[in-house]
Amino acid sequence: MGHTLAEKILAAKCDQSDLSPGQFINARVDLVLASELSGVLAIEEFEKIKNARVFDPKKIVFVMDHFTPAKDIKSAEIVKKCREFAQKHGIRFYDVGRAGIQHILLPEQGLIAPGDLIAGADSHTCTHGFVGAFGTGIGSTDAAVAMAIGEMWMKVPESVKFIYHGKLPKWVGGKDLILHTIARIGVEGARYQAMEFTGETIENMGMSDRFSMANMAIEAGAKAGLFEADEKARQYVRARGRDDGLYLRSDADAEYADIHEIDVSHFEPFVAVPFIPENVKPVSVLNHMEINQAVIGMCTNGNLEDLRAAAEILKGRKIHPRVRAVIIPGSQKVYLDALREGLIEIFIEANCSVSTPTCGPCLGGHMGVLAAGERCVSTSNRNFRGRMGHIASEVYLANPYVAAASAVAGRIISPADL
C-alpha cells in the first residue's frame, strides 16, 4: 500500500519507512515558531526545565506580529520578555520594522522548504503546506519542549484528498475554494486530518491562492493543509534563496479517509457570514448587507498578489463615506513592493488607511477593532462572535476583490456589480 504526502514527510522526520495513521511518533522539527502571545507562555514553560538550552538557535523563530507595534504597556512588556529571551539564547527574532506577519514572513525569508516539519505555537502554522511543508499548530508547552529537544510528539493523521476540477471564473480565487470546502465538510470535517489539495485547478493556481487555502485548513479542524511541491513551488522557494527540501508526492495507491471532487467552473465569490467559517453563502445573495469597515490583508490574503487584486478594484474609486478601509500588507517586503508598484498610492487616494504589518484587527487587538452593531468584511480567516471587537459586531470573510468592492459600495457585493 502506498503513502500520502503527510505520511511521507513525517516518515522522513522520524527515519521510518512505513508510517500509518494513528501511529504515535517523535518527529524532528525543522523550525519552531512563536509570536509574542504564544512565545511568552512558551518561555515560562521552557524556564521550568532545569538547565534547559535551546536545541538549535537557527531553528527557532520569534515573530512579533499580534499586538505590535505594542498597543499598550502590557503588550510592550510581553514583547520585551520575548526580546530578552531571544537575545539570551541567540534565536532569530523579528521585531517591528524588520518583520511582518509570521506566516508570510518565514517563507519570504527563505526559512521554509518543501518537506519541512514546522511546529508553530500558532494555529495557522498549517499555512506552510502551500509549499509542501508540514506546518502544524502546537500549544505553548509543546513549543517549549520543541525548543529544548528539537522534536515533537504527535499522532500520524489520516489524510483527506480534495480534487478540484475546472477553470476558476473571474473574481474567484483560493479563498473562495477553501470557504466552499469548509462549508461542504464543516468546521470539524477534517479534525486532526491532513487536507491534501490537488487537481488541475490547483495545478494552474498561483502560490498566493494556495497560501490562502492552506492557511484556512485549520478552520476545518485539520492538522495540516498540504499541496504537492511542484515546479511552481520550486521556483517560489528558489527565488527566496532555497534550493533544498524534499519534493514529495502521494503515491497513486495511497489510502485516504475520504476523497472529495469539486467542480469550480461555475463558482462565484463566496462569503462566510457570522459566526462560524462554515456559514458560507454566494456573494450574490448578500448585496443588501451594509458594512462599516473593510480590512484587506493580514495573513490569509496579505501577499502582494492580494494587494494587487484590491488595487484593481479601488483604482480610480473612493470608498463609501460610511466605510473605514484598512489595508494591512503581510510583511515589510510586501509593503515596499506594493509601494514601488504604486498600490499604496491607489489605496490612499481611495481614502483607505494603510497599516504597518500586523495581525491587529484579526483577533480584535488593534488597528480596526469593531464597536457594537458594526459589520466588517475582512480577508482574514475567522468570524467568531466578538473576534474583531465587540460581541455584538459581525465579521464577514471574503476574498480581496469582494472586500474592496464592498468598501466602495458600502455593502457586500461582487466586483462584477460595480
Q: What is the pLDDT of residue 360?
A: 85
Grid cell in block for residue 260: 472529495
DSSP output for 105-164: HHHHTT---TT-EEEESSGGGGGGGGGT-EEEE--HHHHHHHHHHSEEEEEPPEEEEEEE
Helix H or strand E segment including 262: strand 258-263
Helix (H, G, I), strand (E, B) or coil at 311: helix
The domains located in the chain, with CATH, are 5-244+254-262 (3.30.499.10), 272-417 (3.30.499.10)
Q: What is the pLDDT of residue 318?
A: 98
69, 96 contact by CB (below 8 A): yes
- The reply to whether omega before 275 is within 30° of 0 (cis) is yes
Q: Would you put residue 132 in left (φ > 0), alpha (ψ -120 to 50) or beta? A: left
Predicted structure pTM score: 0.94
Closest CA to 69 of 396, 418, 359: 359
Q: What is the pLDDT of residue 50?
A: 87
Residue 374 CB coordination number (10 Å): 18
Q: What is the pLDDT of residue 68?
A: 86
Q: What is the CA radius of gyration of the chain?
A: 20
Angle, CA 127 vertex, CA 123 and CA 129 arms, to 5°: 125
Beta strands in 173-244 (DSSP E): 193-198, 224-227
Phi, psi of 152 (to 5 degrees): -135, 145
Q: What is the pLDDT of residue 198?
A: 97
295, 394 contact by CB (below 8 A): no
Which parts of the chain sit beneath pLDDT 70? Answer: none
Question: What distance in Å separates the CA atoms of residue 411 and residue 402, rounded to the nearest whole number?
Answer: 10
Closest CA to 209 of 250, 240, 184, 178: 178
Residue 317 CB coordination number (10 Å): 17
Q: What is the pLDDT of residue 15?
A: 87
Q: What is the pLDDT of residue 365?
A: 85
Q: What is the DSSP letter of 37?
A: H
Q: What is the DSSP letter of 59?
A: G
Q: What is the pLDDT of residue 171?
A: 97
Place of cell 485547478: 201
Largest CA distance in the chain: 63
pLDDT tens-place string over residues 73-128: 999 999 999 999 999 999 999 999 998 999 999 999 999 999 999 999 999 999 99
Residue 127 identity (one-letter amino acid): T
Q: What is the pLDDT of residue 128?
A: 97
| Contacts of 336 by beta carbon, 8 Å cutoff, 6+ apart | none
Closest CA to 322 of 375, 271, 365, 284: 375
Classify strands 270-272 and 280-282 as parallel, antiparallel or unpaired. antiparallel
Helices (H), 186-323: 200-203, 207-215, 231-238, 304-314
Direct distance between the N- and C-terminal alpha carbons of the chain, in angstroms, rounded to an integer: 52
pLDDT tens-place string over residues 181-194: 999 999 999 999 99
Residue 271 CB coordination number (10 Å): 27
Question: What distance in Å separates the CA atoms of residue 43 and residue 46, rounded to the nearest whole number?
Answer: 5
Residue 412 CB coordination number (10 Å): 27
Q: What is the pLDDT of residue 95?
A: 93
Helix, strand, coil distribution of the chain in percent, nearest 5:
35, 20, 45
